[in-house]
Chains A and B, each alone.
Chain A
Amino acid sequence: MVIIPSRRRFLLGSAALLLGACGARQVGPSDGGDGIRLRFWTMQLKPTFEDYLNRVIVDFQGQYPDTRVEWVDVPWGEMETKILTAVAANTGPDVVNLNPLFASKLAEREALLDLETQVSATERAAYFPNLWQANQLVRAGSAAAITFGLPWYVASDITLYNRALLEEAGWDPDRPPGTYAELAQMAPLIRERTGKYAFLLTMDGSQVLEAMVQMGLSLLDEEGKAGFDNPAGEAAFAYWVELFQSGGIPREVLTESHRRTLELYQSGELAFLLTGPQFLRQIQENAPDIAAVTDVAPQIAGSDGRVSAAVMNVAIPKATLYPERAVQLALFLTNAQNQLEFSQLANTLPSTVATAADPYFTGTAATVLDKARLVSAAQLERSQVLIPPVEGLADLQKIIYEELQRAMLGEKSVQVAVRDAAQRWNG
C-alpha cells in the first residue's frame, strides 16, 4: 500500500526536479542583494598575473566598499564561444577583456555598451587617440561610431631577426630590411645561401592583410565598397603571389598559424619573426641558442611608414545591471598607474599616454629585452589598428584571403583574383 504512492511520488518528484532544473534561471552574482557584485572575465591571465589582478581588484573594492568583483579567467581559445553563449543566456560578465575584432562582432549585434556616452572627455584623453579608435565600430549606413571598449594593453609588432642567418646570406646584420620591398629582396638570398626562409606571415589572423594595407592596399572606400580593385591592390596581391610562387616563403603560409611561425624561428628555420616583443622572453626560454643571435629592429613597414598595433580592450556587455560601476572598474583597470605595473609584468605596451611617457619606456637599453621594449614603445605613437572594425570585416578578410590563395596557387591571375574579390564583396 505504501509502495505504489511512494513510487509515484518518486517518479513525479524526479520529473519535477529535472524540469525544474531545466527551467530555472541561472542566478548570477550580479543578483546578490548585499551590494554590487561585478563579474569580470579576462583572457588567459592566470596564473602569471594572478597576484597583480587580485591586488588591483582589492584596490578597486577599497575605493568602492559596496562592490565585490568576481574575477573569472577564461582560456584564450574558449573566450569567443563562452562570451557568446553567456551573453545569449543573459549570464554574461559585467566587464570583459576581449580583442577589438571579436568585440566588434558583439557590438554589431548591439550587445555591448556604447562607451562614447559613458566616459567623459577628460577620461578619454588619457588614451592614445589612435588606440581609442581601435575600439570604434562604424556601422554600415551610419556616420556615428560606436565605442565598444576601452583600450587596455597593446602589442606593437617589432622585427626579431637572426643575425647569424643574415651574415651567412651576406647581408649586414646591423642594417636589417625596414620595408616589405627590402624583405622581398632579401628572401631569395636567404633561401639560396642558407637553405632557410626569410619570413612567414600567416593567414590565421589578419597579419597578411595588415601587411597588404601597409603596402598600399585600401580595404574599403567611403561608401563601404571594395577599395582595392586598382593598381595598389594588385601590387599588394602580386607581392605575395610572387614570393609564394618563387619559393621565397614557405608554402605553409596557406595553412599555418602564428604559433608555427614562432616554432620555425626558434628552430632556426626563419631569419625574421614579425611579432610582439613579449615573444622574445619565450624564445630565450625555449631556444637560448637562437636567442643569443637574435636582435631587434622596428616593425617592417610599407612605403608610407605606418606600423600596426594589436590592442586588447575592456568591454561592458549591455546586459549588466550596474553599467556605471562596470565602467568605473574598466577605467580603473586601464588607468595609467595600473597599466604601468601591468606593462612591466607582461612586457606589453600601455594604451595610456602618461604610462608611455614613463622612463621605463623611454630610457636606455641594457639588454635585448630592453631594446625590444624601447623599439616597440617608440613606435607606439604612430601605431594604429590598420584594419579598423567595420561591419562584415571577417567576411571581407575571408574573401581576400581566398582569392589571394587562388592566385598564389596559380588558379587565377593577380588581376582576376583582385577583381573577383572586389566583386564578391560588392555583390
Chain B
Amino acid sequence: MDKEGPAQRAWQQFWIPFGPYGFVLPALLLMGIATFWPMLQALYLSLTRYDLLSTPTWIGLENYRRLLWDPLFWKALGNTLLYVALVVPPLVWLPLGLAILVNRPWPGIGLFRLLYYLPVVFSVVVAGLAWRWLYAENGLLNHILSLVLGHAVRIPWLTDPRWALFSVSLVTIWKGLGYYMVIYLAGLQGIPTHLYEAAALDGANRWQQHRWITLPLMRPYQVLVLILSTIAAMKVFEEVYLLTRGGPVYSTLTLVYYLYERGIRDLEMGYASAMGLVLFGVVLLLSLGAVRLYSSREEGL
C-alpha cells in the first residue's frame, strides 16, 4: 500500500465532505441553466417594462399592481379555475373506472386499452383540428344529435360564450383519459392478488373488495393524477389556441393564453412574466392543497 503524503491527506479531507456534490454538479448546472436561471430572470423581468427589443426598465411592483386592476387578468384567472373544476374531477375519476374495467383478463381487452390510449398519442394540433370539425355548426356532433333527436340541432359549441369553455374542456378530458388510465392501470397491477383472495375467503363481495382494497390502495395514484391534471389544466394553452383563441369575447381566455397574448403578441414581456409568476403561485398552492388533502385523509384512515 502506498503511503499518503500530507498534501494528499489534506486534499482528501477536503474532498470527502464535498466530493459527492461534485457528482451532482453537472446535473445541477444544467438545471440551473435550464430551470432556475430562467425562473430568476422571470422574477427580474416581472419587475421591469420589457418589450424584447429595448433594454428592460425597472418599474418595481408596477406590473403586479396593474394585474390587480386588469379585468382581463381576473377573467382569465376565473376561466382557468372554472376550467380546472370542469376538467380535473372527470380526469381523476373516469380513468380510474376505465382502468378497473380494462384490468380484467377478458379476451380482446388489449384492443380496448389501445383505443382508450390512442388520443394520447395524437398531437394536440391534430386533435384540435379534428375537434374543430366535430364542433362546427354543421359538423358531425350536431349531425348525430339531429339524427338522434329527429330534428335539426345546432348547438353553438365553440361560438356561444356559455358553451365554449365547456366544449374546450371536453377535448382535454378526451385527450387525458388514456394517459391517466395507464397510470391507474400500473397502480392496479401492483396490488397484490393475495389481498383479494384473503378478502374473498372472508366473504367480501366484489364491491366490498373494491371499496376496501382497491380504492384505498389507489389513493396515492389519485393524488398523483389530481396534481398532474390540475397543473396541466392550469397551464392549458393548445386547446384554447386551436379551438377558440380565447373567444368568443374572452369566454375561453385562460391564464396561459392571456400570458401568450401579452408577451408574444403585444411584446409586454415584463407584464407576462408577472402573470407567469402569479400562475406559478396558484399552481403551487393548489398542488400543496392536494397533498394536504391526501395527508389528512391518510391520517383519518
Binding site for B on A (CB under 8 A): 1, 4, 7, 11, 14-15, 18, 22, 80-81, 84-85, 87-88, 105-106, 109, 111, 204, 250-252, 254-255, 260, 269, 394-395, 402, 405-406, 409, 411
Contact = CB atoms under 8 A, between A and B. Distances in A.
The B interface, classified by DSSP as helix, strand, loop or mixed, is loop
A411 B162 CA distance: 12
28 contacts: A1-B8, A4-B11, A7-B22, A11-B26, A15-B25, A15-B29, A18-B33, A22-B33, A81-B264, A84-B264, A85-B52, A88-B53, A109-B51, A109-B53, A109-B267, A111-B53, A204-B245, A252-B158, A254-B248, A255-B244, A255-B247, A255-B248, A260-B132, A269-B138, A394-B265, A406-B249, A409-B161, A409-B248
Contacts of B243: 255
Contacts of A88: 52-53
B209 interface: no
A84 B33 CA distance: 22
A394 B29 contact: no
Given A14-B26, A255-B159, A255-B244, 9 more contacts: A11-B25, A18-B33, A84-B52, A87-B53, A250-B137, A252-B159, A394-B266, A405-B247, A411-B249
Nearest to A408: B248
Contacts of B164: 255
Given A84-B53, A405-B248, A252 B136 contact: yes
A11 B11 contact: no
Nearest to A105: B267
Nearest to A267: B138
Interface of B: 8, 11-12, 15, 22, 25-26, 29-30, 33, 51-54, 132, 136-138, 156, 158-161, 164, 243-245, 247-250, 264-267
A251 B52 contact: no
Contacts of A105: 267
A88 B264 CA distance: 13
A4 B25 contact: no
Nearest to A8: B22
A199 to B, nearest CB: 15
Contacts of B11: 4
A409 B244 contact: no
A405 B52 contact: no
B264 A80 contact: yes
Given A109-B54, A394-B266, A254 B26 contact: no
